[in-house]
Every structure is written in structure tokens, then in C-alpha cells.
Amino acid sequence: MQNRTLMMAAALLLAAAPARAQSGLYVGAQVTGASLNYKDAAQNLDFGSGYGVHAGLALGSSLGVLVNYDKNTLGSSGGDTDLGQWDVLGQLRFVGVGPLKTYLTAGITGRKAASSIYNGTTGNFDFSGTNPTAGLTAQFMVTSKLAVDGALLWTFGKFNDTGGYSASRVEATGSRVSVGASYYLFGGR
């Protein structure tokens, strides 16, 4: 019975070790999926896959800043659309259970969509803009330096530069989901 109690205590200590508040600079990479819905456009874009990289600064267990870049290719019946997105996001801790921390996340996103077809017309179409983004992010600490990350983000608004098209026709809402890993360069405390 005493050995069983010691083993349970050791298991709890091992589980609690990565749950400590993480502070410091981290970098990582992720795989992403993204969607983009053009208002009133003739073609519907499919959910597309891609990749991304990120860097963040955790300020204790409650606040953080995340800088992110994602690149996705969205398919449609008319041709593919390349979508690049750059984020600067603030994070506020939402719920934490053991080594899992979730954050309410919001900030600003720069986007650029490039396609050879838009609204049934062939050409070179580049739409870009800066828009608000909100969502949830999470980190599951595997060790004091390594975390598995996840994110659900929504970007709202219109493209600012529409290449001559009416901005109301190029109003776009996008969503992203990502899973990746982060490495704390200087470890946690």
C-alpha cells in the first residue's frame, strides 16, 4: 500500500511539474487549415491547408503576446487562391487545468489573397487588408520547455486594397484552425 501511495504521489508531481506558470520567449511552427468567404462572389472557396510559424512572449501564466504567420492554399472550381496572414495578437488566460492553458486571443491581422480568377473573371487578383481577429488559443505543456499548441481564429472585415473592385463585393470573413508545437528558449520557471 505504501509503494502504491508513493507511486501516485510521484505521478502527481510529474504531472504538476509542467503545469507551472511559463514565462519567456518561445518559437514554433504549426499546420493550419483556413477558410475565406467572399461576400457576393460567384465562386465558393474550399477550406485549404497550409503551414505557419510563430513567436510569442508569455508574461507569467495570465498574459502573452503572439506573432504569427500562416500560408494556405484554398481551392475552388475556378482555381486556387493563395492566402497569407500575419497576426499580432494579445492573449489573456481563460481556463487552465493542469498543464493545459487556454487563452482568449485578439488583435490585428494583415491578409493578402492572390488568385487568377475572381467572380468568374480571369486575371491577376490581389486583395489585401488589415482586419481585427479574435479567437481561442491553447498550450499543453509537455515539459518545462516544450508545448503543443492549438488555435481557433476568426478574422472579420473587408480587404482595404481590392484592385479596383467595389470593397463591398470583396468583404471577406476568414477562419483558421492550427495545431503545432512551441519551444521555450529560456525555459519556464
Collect all residues with Cβ–Cβ distance below 8 Å to 101 and sequence separation of at least 6. Answer: 22, 61, 93, 95, 138, 139, 140, 141
Do 30 and 186 meet the contact criterion of CB atoms below 8 Å apart?
Answer: no
What are the residues whose beta carbons fall under 8 Å from the beta carbon of 143, sequence distance 6 or more?
18
Q: Which residues share a beta bridge with 183? A: 27, 146
Query: Residue 37: what pLDDT?
Result: 79
pLDDT score recorded for residue 4? 54
Write the DSSP string, 132-172.
EEEEEEEEEESSSSEEEEEEEEEE-SB-SB-TTS-GGGGBE
Confidence label for 32 from pLDDT (cuts 50, 70 and 90): very high
Residue 28 φ/ψ, nearest 5 degrees: -170, -175
Percent of the chain at pLDDT > 70 equals 77
Rounded distance, CA 5 to CA 3, Å?
Answer: 5
Q: How confident is the model at residue 86 (pLDDT cuts 50, 70, 90)?
A: very high
Top mean-pLDDT range of 17-31, 47-61, 106-120 = 47-61
CB crowding 6-38: b at 16 or more within 10 Å, else e:
eeeeeeeeeeeebbeebbeebebebebbbbbeb
Give dist(CA 152, CA 35) in Å, integer.
12
Q: What's the confidence (pLDDT) of residue 100? A: 92
CB 53 within 8 A of CB 28: yes
Structural domains for the chain: 2-184 (2.40.160.20)
First to last CA, the chain: 34
Contact 32, 176 (CB under 8 A): yes
Strands 100-118 and 146-155: unpaired
